[in-house]
């Protein structure tokens, strides 16, 4: 039993480090490190850099432009990406709809959609949740009714992340209500956001940002060949995707990166709020969190080891999601606590590439800590709330 | 033993409570928060007309002889209504310093003007490096003939943009963290050498950073004795801490009630989510957190102010409770609302943000737990 890298894996690690050192655009790095919000163009530019390197579609099979990496290589890459504080890949195309298309789509669909997803030419969003169907996703009501060689879509999707930037939306839609179980009669359908009848309305979140939306469908005509796989099987496809979403949500490497930044903050507190340095109760909280995080890292490694010998991530992925998001939220709390009064000014616009520390209220990015804390309460809600994850573990692991 | 309030106290609570229900709904509150000014001056006039601004002062000082109970009743309602008007800054902070140490002349002028709403006031109690330590003061005041020259920086001064009178602690002797050597100055916002950087805060309020460069203050603007301002500052901040704990409890109850109500109406899996035992127990925990907090609030309110050590302990105990139980209730209210809990449109988000700010204001849970230990007889 060991967690050592082979010499090849060591070489790979160096290769990845060199890539982030040389190819990660400096202006985007500056923005990431200095709490300056990224624009859509920044995400796309960065993902295209990864694409040029052949490292965008990490989990995809090689034939569709994937890396063919081993589990360990993926792990190394995720770690280096976090250490470089590079923006996470926007998951909707590369992480979510891509895998569904190459697994369940037909040849024509693969050729039509996958290259643009891999190259980040097309921005996707996820249309699952509805106002009346959150945790109880299978109760969704947005309808896709057949009419000749088209579906007519009517209804409302909500909480659609970055829908305002998206070109396409992948949806779970009800194609039949005449079913024994509500999970049946749901289909996985792709919709071009420019189709007449699609409107996007912003939802402002707690900290004042615009990242989620309501998407309305009024008599939206969608070609039948935008259906992925079989009609009525969308629930099964969608669930596979959710499990992948949950493992990646754990964000161990990113939490490690942030934990180290928090320690730096305390180390440098003599220039800011010196009393933090001797604040033993605060140091104990950081240490406790570090121990939690180490446990999660090993739990993730165990899951990865199981996946690498061919097991699909099962209900244990719920554990990673629950603990992973709890740790992220705890980090948010501690950053805000460390910032103290400087977490309170609402000055998100003070950070820009042209501004510098002396012009800012607070030390470093102190004032963002509260916004991050408030906003990231979402982490225990989206992707299936943590209560729902516990229900899944209770049912499928404990057999209750 | 008697936990009941008097008829006058009950009437006071009714006036402000009715005002919130009839004229200060969430929509109006959000308009004020998003507006140009930090708070609504008409609403502040209402506070003045109703005598709220006079309640906490003695009759001799032109007040109505109220005390901790009255303050608690008002602040709980301010919390429930998420009110933005600066009762805390004017009455509890600035008024608190003046009623304790002001000369007859200072009271007649400043306190009188605060009570009748002619001026706005505040206390500048933090510096960039000081965190929660009131005694950590590097702003200096050097005596020169009959005046003082003040230099330094005050961070996070609530109501700082509107305050005509800013009470500033500054160091007249001793080293940076000594309690002795701190003097309180009444500084006019018009003074040459003050520069202000005002911003909205995450809870819809506003605050100001003040840079002080060679500001000249005449000796008659010293409040209390030279070098001996610390005790008054600490007592005043303690009273203000008590006040915001009452505000926090108003918010916690509101969050709790709204969450229970929401859980009865939000249907998932064919039943109201309040039917899921996993959530029921958590709402019961929230109720207990509210009740325990209320009990500590009453402990602090009823502690004899003459026993300063006991009072400090009670207030730190209460603030610790608000910092922990308050955080819990806030996070749970958001979580149980699902996505709705983090949407700007709902009051839940804004109650949660104010509660989170109050956790920090005047010292967080860790700070007050340590203070509680330090005040305990070993
Ligand atoms: C920031 C953000 C981004 C999102 N992005 C997307 C997106 O891009 N695409 C998309 O489709 N969706 C998205 N979502 C939606 C997300 O998946 C839902 O919010 C989530 O599934 C919860 O649903 P709900 O908000 O309706 O809460 P509800 O289902 O109403 O739940 C309310 C509360 O009840 C609890 N609860 C519900 N049922 C049970 C039960 N049986 N037992 C115990 N507790 C229960 C929940 O855990 C929660 O605490 C996003 C949400 C957020 C907040
Ligand atoms: C020291 C001691 C002294 C006692 N003295 C007396 C006495 O003087 N007179 C008397 O009549 N009885 C007495 N009892 C019995 C006591 O009232 C029962 O133990 C108690 O009611 C629990 O019942 P149970 O032990 O059968 O556990 P169970 O009812 O079998 O419960 C097992 C576990 O399941 C949980 N549980 C059960 N139902 C639910 C539910 N609906 N939702 C969530 N959780 C649930 C319980 O909380 C418990 O954790 C005593 C018990 C003890 C341990």
**CB < 8 Å from A in window 169-208 of B:** 197, 199-203, 207
Predicted confidence band of residue A318 (pLDDT cuts 50, 70, 90): confident
Residues B160 and B52 in one domain: no
Residues B137 and B107 in one domain: no
Predicted confidence band of residue A242 (pLDDT cuts 50, 70, 90): low
| Cα four-point dihedral sign B131, B253, A334, B86 | negative
Instruction: Look at residue B63 in the predicted model and tell me its pLDDT.
Output: 96
- The tally of domains found in chain B comes to 3
Instruction: Look at residue A1 in the predicted model and tell me its pLDDT.
Output: 74
More confident residue, B172 or A310: B172
Instruction: Specify the CATH number for the domain of residue B367.
Output: 1.20.140.10
Using an 8 Å Cβ cutoff, are A173 and A126 in contact? no
Residues A253 and A225 in one domain: no
- Domain contains A261: yes
SS3 of chain A: the string is: CCCCCCHHHHHHHHHHHHHHHHHCCHHHHHHHHCCCCCCHHHHHHHHHHHHHHCCCCCCCCHHHCCCCCCHHHHHHHHHHHHHCCCCCCCHHHHHHHHHHHHHHCCHHHHHHHHHHHHCCCCCEEEECCECCECCCHHHCCCEEEEECCEEEEEEEECCCCCHHHCCEEEEEEECCCCCCCCCCCEEEEEEECCCCCEEEEEEEECCCCEEEEEEEEEEEEEEHHHEECCCCEHHHHHHHHHHHHHHHHCCHHHHHHHHHHHHHHHHCHHHCCHHHCCCHHHHHHHHHHHHHHHHHHHHHHHHHHHHHCCCCCCCHHHHHHHHHHHHHHHHHHHHHHHHHHHHCECCHHHCCCCCCHHHCCCCCCCCHHHHHHHHHHHHHCCCCCHHHHHHHHHHHCCCC
Q: Facing residues of B122 across strands?
A: B166
Q: A246 pLDDT exceeds 70? A: no
Q: Whole-number mean pLDDT of chain A?
A: 93
Among A158, A206, A361, the residue with its CB nearest the CB of B199 is A361
pLDDT tens sequence across B241-257? 999 999 999 999 999 99
Q: How confident is the model over B266-289, as a mean pLDDT?
A: 98
Residues B252 and B303 in one domain: yes
Kindly give the distance from the C-alpha atom of residue A143 to the centroid of ligand 1, in angstroms, as a whole number: 20
Residues A270 and A361 in one domain: yes
Q: Both tokens of residue A187? A: 């289909």
Residues B271 and B357 in one domain: yes
What is the domain extent for residue A333?
249-396
Preferred mutation among A131, A341, A362, A376 to probe B, highest tally of B CBs within 10 A:
A341
d(CA B212, CA B152): 5
Indicate if A245 belongs to the active site. Answer: yes
Residues of A in contact with B279 (CB under 8 A): 387
Interchain contact, B343 vs A378, CB within 8 Å: no
Residues A69 and A132 in one domain: no
Interchain contact, B199 vs A380, CB within 8 Å: no
Instruction: Look at residue B33 in the predicted model and tell me its pLDDT.
Output: 96
Across the A/B interface, how many CB contacts are shorter than 8 Å?
A: 131
Interchain contact, A377 vs B342, CB within 8 Å: yes
Predicted confidence band of residue A167 (pLDDT cuts 50, 70, 90): very high
- Domain contains B1: no
Using an 8 Å Cβ cutoff, are A117 and A124 in contact? yes
Using an 8 Å Cβ cutoff, are A373 and B232 in contact? no
Residues A229 and A255 in one domain: no
What is the domain extent for residue B106?
7-119
Q: Which of A47-56, A64-73, A158-167, B219-228 has the lowest mean pLDDT?
A: A64-73
Interchain contact, A206 vs B344, CB within 8 Å: yes
Question: Which mutation among A158, A382, A383 tests ligand 1's pocket best, with the greatest number of atoms within 8 A of CB?
Answer: A382
B313 and chain A: CB distance < 8 Å anywhere?
Answer: no
- Domain contains A104: no
Instruction: Look at residue A278 in the predicted model and tell me its pLDDT.
Output: 87
Give the residue among B367, B373, B369 at the shortest CA–CA distance from B132: B367
Q: Which of B228, B250, B284 is the last residue of a domain?
A: B228
Preferred mutation among A210, A272, A334, A345 to probe B, highest tally of B CBs within 10 A:
A345
Kindly give the distance from the C-alpha atom of residue A399 to the centroid of ligand 2, in angstroms, as a whole number: 23
Question: Which mutation among B258, B264, B271, B273 tests ligand 1's pocket best, with the greatest number of atoms within 8 A of CB?
Answer: B273
d(CA B372, CA B326): 18
Residues A223 and A254 in one domain: no
Q: Report percent pLDDT > 70 for chain B.
A: 100
Instruction: Report DSSP letters for B360-373, one per residue.
Output: HTT--HHHHHHHHH
Residues A294 and A384 in one domain: yes
pLDDT tens sequence across B92-135? 999 999 999 999 999 999 999 999 999 999 999 999 999 999 99
Q: B365 pLDDT exceeds 90? A: yes
d(CA A148, CA B251): 56
Instruction: Look at residue A103 in the predicted model and tell me its pLDDT.
Output: 93
Q: How confident is the model over A258-272, as a mean pLDDT?
A: 94
- The tally of domains found in chain A comes to 3
Q: Which of A184, A245, A297, A316 is labelled catalytic?
A: A245
pLDDT tens sequence across A320-364? 889 999 999 999 999 999 999 999 999 999 999 998 888 899 998
Instruction: Specify the CATH number for the domain of residue B30.
Output: 1.10.540.10
Q: Phi/psi of residue A151, each to 5°? A: -100, 145
Closest CA of chain B from A181, distance in Å: 12
- Domain contains B25: yes
CB atoms within 10 A of CB A124: 28
Instruction: Look at residue A313 in the predicted model and tell me its pLDDT.
Output: 67
Residues B255 and B200 in one domain: no
- Domain contains A242: no
């Amino acid at each position: 039993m060991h967690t050592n890298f082979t010499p090849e894996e060591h070489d790979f690690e160096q290769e990845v480090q060199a890539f982030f050192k040389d190819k990660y655009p400096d202006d985007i790095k500056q923005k990431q490190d200095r709490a300056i919000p990224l624009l859509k163009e920044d995400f796309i530019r960065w993902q295209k850099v990864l694409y040029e390197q052949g490292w965008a579609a990490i989990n995809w099979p090689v034939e569709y432009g994937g890396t063919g990496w081993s589990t360990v290589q993926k792990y190394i890459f995720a770690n280096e990406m976090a250490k470089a504080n590079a923006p996470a890949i926007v998951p909707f195309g590369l992480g979510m709809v891509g895998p569904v298309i190459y697994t369940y789509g037909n040849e024509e669909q693969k050729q039509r959609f996958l290259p643009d997803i891999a190259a980040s030419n097309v921005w996707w969003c996820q249309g699952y949740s509805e106002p009346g169907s959150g945790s109880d996703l299978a109760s969704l009501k947005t309808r896709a009714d057949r009419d000749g060689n088209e579906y007519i879509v009517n209804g409302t999707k909500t909480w659609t992340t970055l829908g305002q930037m998206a070109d396409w939306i992948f949806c779970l839609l009800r194609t039949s209500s005449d079913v024994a179980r509500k999970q049946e009669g749901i289909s996985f359908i792709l919709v071009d956001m420019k189709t007449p009848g699609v409107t996007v309305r912003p939802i402002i979140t707690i900290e004042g940002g615009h990242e989620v939306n309501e998407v309305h469908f009024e008599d939206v005509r969608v070609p039948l060949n935008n259906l992925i796989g079989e009609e009525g099987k969308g629930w099964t496809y969608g669930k596979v995707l959710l499990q992948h979403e949950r493992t990646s949500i754990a964000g161990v490497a990113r939490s490690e990166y942030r934990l180290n930044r928090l320690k730096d903050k305390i180390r440098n507190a003599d220039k800011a709020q010196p009393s933090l340095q001797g604040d033993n109760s605060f140091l104990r909280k950081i240490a406790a969190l570090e121990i939690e995080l180490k446990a999660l890292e090993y739990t993730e490694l165990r899951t990865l080891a199981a996946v690498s010998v061919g097991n699909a991530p099962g209900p244990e992925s719920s554990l990673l999601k629950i603990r992973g998001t709890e740790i992220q939220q705890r980090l948010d709390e501690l950053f805000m606590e460390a910032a103290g009064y400087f977490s309170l000014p609402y000055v998100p616009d003070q950070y820009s590439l042209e501004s510098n520390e002396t012009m800012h209220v607070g030390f470093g990015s102190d004032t963002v800590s509260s916004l991050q804390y408030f906003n990231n309460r979402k982490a225990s809600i989206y992707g299936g709330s943590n209560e729902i994850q516990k229900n899944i573990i209770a049912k499928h692991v404990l057999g209750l | 033993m008697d936990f009941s309030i008097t008829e006058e106290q009950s009437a006071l609570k009714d006036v402000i409570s009715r005002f919130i229900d009839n004229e200060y709904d969430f929509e109006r509150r959000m308009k004020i928060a998003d507006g140009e000014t930090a708070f609504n001056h008409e609403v502040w006039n209402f506070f003045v007309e109703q005598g709220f601004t006079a309640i906490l002062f003695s009759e001799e000082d032109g007040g109505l002889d109220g005390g901790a109970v009255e303050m608690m009743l008002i602040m709980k309602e301010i919390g429930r209504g998420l009110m933005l008007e600066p009762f805390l800054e004017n009455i509890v902070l600035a008024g608190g310093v003046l009623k304790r140490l002001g000369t007859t002349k200072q009271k007649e002028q400043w306190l009188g003007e605060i009570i009748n709403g002619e001026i706005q006031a505040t206390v500048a109690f933090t510096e960039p490096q000081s965190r929660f330590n009131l005694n950590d003061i590097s702003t200096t005041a050097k005596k020169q003939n009959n005046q003082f020259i003040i230099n330094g920086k005050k961070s996070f001064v609530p109501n700082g943009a509107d305050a005509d009178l800013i009470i500033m602690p500054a160091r007249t002797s001793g080293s940076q963290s000594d309690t002795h050597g701190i003097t309180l100055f009444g500084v006019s916002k018009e003074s040459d050498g003050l520069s202000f950087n005002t911003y909205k805060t995450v809870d819809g309020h506003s605050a100001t950073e003040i840079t002080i460069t060679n500001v000249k203050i005449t000796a008659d603007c010293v409040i209390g004795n030279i070098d001996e301002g610390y005790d008054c500052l600490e007592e005043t901040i303690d009273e203000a801490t008590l006040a915001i704990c009452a505000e926090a409890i108003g918010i916690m109850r509101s969050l709790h009630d709204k969450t229970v109500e929401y859980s009865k109406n939000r249907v998932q899996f064919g039943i109201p989510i309040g039917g899921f035992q996993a959530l029921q127990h958590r709402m019961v925990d929230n109720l207990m957190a509210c009740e325990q907090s209320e009990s500590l609030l009453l402990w602090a309110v009823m502690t004899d102010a003459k026993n300063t050590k006991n009072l400090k302990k009670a207030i730190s105990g209460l603030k610790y409770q608000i910092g922990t139980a308050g955080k819990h209730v806030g996070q749970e209210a958001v979580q149980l609302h699902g996505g709705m809990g983090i949407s700007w449109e709902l009051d839940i988000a804004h109650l949660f943000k104010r509660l989170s700010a109050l956790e920090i204001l005047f010292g967080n849970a860790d700070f007050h737990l340590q203070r509680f230990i330090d005040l305990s007889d070993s």
